[in-house]
Structure 1
């Protein structure tokens, strides 16, 4: 009599997808009346309404393009024969580029124009796609890292500058961008699976063609009929403004540190979430868990307008303080013991839910504390400590000097320190200018 050994592959319960979809989408149709009136309001000026619709479409396309690399990047490198150590080196090079070049791109964005930088984002993706189609090589991590740096701040800065005169709609645009980014990442997973069709060797070029088509479409949207106000501030005036509002302001330092901590924790999360789940050789359907994580982030983003458009019980800094603490607590449990897959996925979903709420709140604080003319430079430079820390830890990890649990613990400590920054901001308070009291 033969013995049949069945393979037990862990998969999320299918009801989770239904619940996440319902709780992420239904709140959009039940938003408070004030929010519903501001999101793509037909009473707005025609030019502003066109910008909102066109911008959200463009941002969705850019998110799909970023997601194609995030979803299929490792498989693509494996197609080229990269080992695990080589994959780690590629990731390290990417963060090095973000550190030494990407940290200063925001300053160029403020001086030259945010639209031009967003256009560069699509041109970089187009260049990488054409390069791979023609030469079929994997020398592209530098350009994609630069594109990711632009993605992290360029589109938000552009949107804020264009809508400065309609500040009451900015907060709704913030959470809609977070929602669209997560939804587009899920869409990029579906697009990659469709183009590859379980045959990497035969259909690998289909992925590059798809990315090139999206890039060409986006370039056409940006360059046709979309004017941007010229940047007239000379470098000397920019330096004076930057010093006055950023370098000499303690509140900006606290906000920058919080942004750096969240950037570090998110980067560490996406690098380590899969290795943590499949530790000890466990078989898990990672492709089914990925939508759960992004769906949780979508759920968190839809909670933002409910906090903002109803009478606030707490200050913005207090909401962020509690959210950072919950995220740090979740990662602390993961660092201590990550043996149970169900508990791990639950903690990861909790982390992403809080993240979906944190990002719009942080964008709101940036609008409160920072003038628009230096927003891009502040955002890109604030990520420098995070990129440096990630690069340092990846180098140590490559030489087996540090464990994944230690990196997760450091990310948790960073989140707790970000909560402390929000507590200090709340304690100090801020006398808002009359023009920004309605944010």
Structure 2
């Protein structure tokens, strides 16, 4: 493997270690032993849940291909998963507010375990059922656990204040600590370890491409046991008079009547849309001529960059003087600029026509840009979680969070369906002009809803086009 990969990984590891070891009192949040126990329990469960998810990711496409399915059939399976998340996942995820968030988390475990079991069958219909179950589970993963955490945190905050008759309990700022640690562990360290463990099972122990799914099911079962034994139930609005349709209407009214909630949903959907486009297309972007690249090692490097971002977020969220809404403007600018790099390399670097070989100079530049984008992703997640805890009403938290994922799933399905038949000149012109407007137009320092909405829509929309353009440069 080329020295370049080791240099990037080593540099990122050194920076992350330096950031974690050099934290001052200003960068740390003083908490209580009761909160630390609560936080560590949640982080353990969340890490197990994310391990169950990360173990599967690198091997889904590979498993389907070993069963003899072509790109078209595999694409249909992926579209079914995201479509299921949009349709069934929204309904099941929204039930968490009424039926209980703990129950929804257990449902996630059961649903995802069943999805893992279906991977043992080479039959297309069985695999399709597995993708549908996986789509439902994904919606629960990204809504039920966070909803339970926020409700439980503020419940403990109120209970302890009432019992002690003092201004104590779980401070609202402590929630930011849990968010940043969850992303640092679940989307960073656990992702890296899961990739290495999956590689051990498949390549070193020769247990086959189904083995990571079996391991994922075991982790999910362990996490479910901890949930059942140590978590209490909480609800959004458990009113029996509210049916699901009324619940949906209430969530829609909340979004429509509060521009901050609507803006938050737009930012989340558009940024996640660009992120998923990146996930699908970073491989062809780095190897347009079938260059040999270490996919697993590059993935681990990206996750290390995400850990760097979450470590920076932890420092920012620990300071009361720093507004999340303010520094996220900078994050959006940097993430857009980092994904402008593929366009620049097409202008400045003569593309190679040689098939195979090692990564090109343009590919090296793009790796650096993509690592920057992943660092922005690491900053984005705990920050958007913090904003969701502030702006989304508790009684409809899971419902609204699943509403936010509907545009994302539509966007991803469109990208998957149109990943080949695409007009390159349109994408190039649209992406370049839009990104130029983002990077060079004046931008207010203070939050302004209309300006931030325009910025987010323009930036995240063009990000997807830029990655698509670069991915389709291969002959």
TM-score, normalised via structure 2 length: 0.78
**Which one of 316, 337, 358 corresponds to residue 307 of structure 1?**
316
- 8 Å Cα contact 1:114-1:158 kept in structure 2: yes
Cα deviation, 1:84-139, whole Å, max 9, x if unaligned, reads 23222222222211222223333212121221111111112221233344778634
Aligned residues: 412
Distance in 2 separating the partners of 1:124 and 1:412: 44
State whether structure 2 residue 371 is matched by structure 1 residue 349: yes
Instruction: Describe how 1:202-221 pairs up with structure 2 within 5 A.
Output: 202-221=207-226
Corresponding residue number in structure 1 for 2:390:
368
Corresponding residue number in structure 2 for 1:377:
399
- 8 Å Cα contact 1:334-1:408 kept in structure 2: no
Instruction: Summarize the Cα distance change of 1:402–1:148 in structure 2 as closer, same or farther, 3 Å threshold.
Output: farther
- 8 Å Cα contact 1:125-1:212 kept in structure 2: yes
Corresponding residue number in structure 2 for 1:104:
91
Instruction: Tell me which moved more, 404-413 or 235-244.
Output: 404-413
Corresponding residue number in structure 1 for 2:139:
149
Q: Which has the higher contact order (CA 8 A, sep 6+)?
A: 1
Instruction: Describe how 1:403-414 pairs up with structure 2 within 5 A.
Output: 406=427
SS of residue paired to 1:163: helix
- 8 Å Cα contact 2:101-2:234 kept in structure 1: no
Instruction: Tell me which moved more, 346-355 or 280-289.
Output: 280-289
C-alpha displacement at 1:77, in angstroms?
Answer: 1.4
**Which one of 20, 30, 46 corresponds to residue 12 of structure 2?**
20
- 8 Å Cα contact 2:309-2:378 kept in structure 1: yes
- 8 Å Cα contact 2:251-2:396 kept in structure 1: yes
Corresponding residue number in structure 1 for 2:333:
325
Instruction: Summarize the Cα distance change of 1:19–1:316 in structure 2 as closer, same or farther, 3 Å threshold.
Output: same
Instruction: Describe how 1:264-343 pairs up with structure 2 within 5 A.
Output: 264-310=273-319, 312=321, 315-335=323-343, 337=345, 340-343=362-365
- 8 Å Cα contact 2:340-2:435 kept in structure 1: no
State whether structure 2 residue 216 is matched by structure 1 residue 180: no
Corresponding residue number in structure 2 for 1:5:
none
Cα deviation, 1:201-239, whole Å, max 9, x if unaligned, reads x53343333122212211211111322135533427856
Corresponding residue number in structure 2 for 1:138:
127
Distance in 1 separating the partners of 2:103 and 2:73: 34
SS of residue paired to 1:265: helix
Corresponding residue number in structure 1 for 2:58:
71
Distance in 2 separating the partners of 1:223 and 1:111: 18
Distance in 2 separating the partners of 1:126 and 1:224: 19
- 8 Å Cα contact 2:177-2:318 kept in structure 1: no
- Unmatched 5+ stretches in structure 1: 1-8, 430-439
- 8 Å Cα contact 2:52-2:215 kept in structure 1: no
C-alpha displacement at 1:396, in angstroms?
Answer: 2.2
Distance in 2 separating the partners of 1:428 and 1:242: 20
Cα deviation, 1:252-276, whole Å, max 9, x if unaligned, reads 1111100111110111010011111
- Unmatched 5+ stretches in structure 2: 158-169, 352-361, 451-475
Instruction: Summarize the Cα distance change of 1:249–1:60 in structure 2 as closer, same or farther, 3 Å threshold.
Output: same
C-alpha displacement at 1:349, in angstroms?
Answer: 0.3
Corresponding residue number in structure 1 for 2:163:
none
C-alpha displacement at 1:198, in angstroms?
Answer: 4.9
State whether structure 2 residue 181 is matched by structure 1 residue 171: no
C-alpha displacement at 1:68, in angstroms?
Answer: 1.3
Distance in 1 separating the partners of 2:226 and 2:40: 12
Corresponding residue number in structure 2 for 1:387:
409
C-alpha displacement at 1:21, in angstroms?
Answer: 2.0
C-alpha displacement at 1:356, in angstroms?
Answer: 0.8
Distance in 2 separating the partners of 1:369 and 1:207: 38
C-alpha displacement at 1:293, in angstroms?
Answer: 0.6
TM-score, normalised via structure 1 length: 0.84
C-alpha displacement at 1:352, in angstroms?
Answer: 0.6
- 8 Å Cα contact 1:332-1:412 kept in structure 2: no
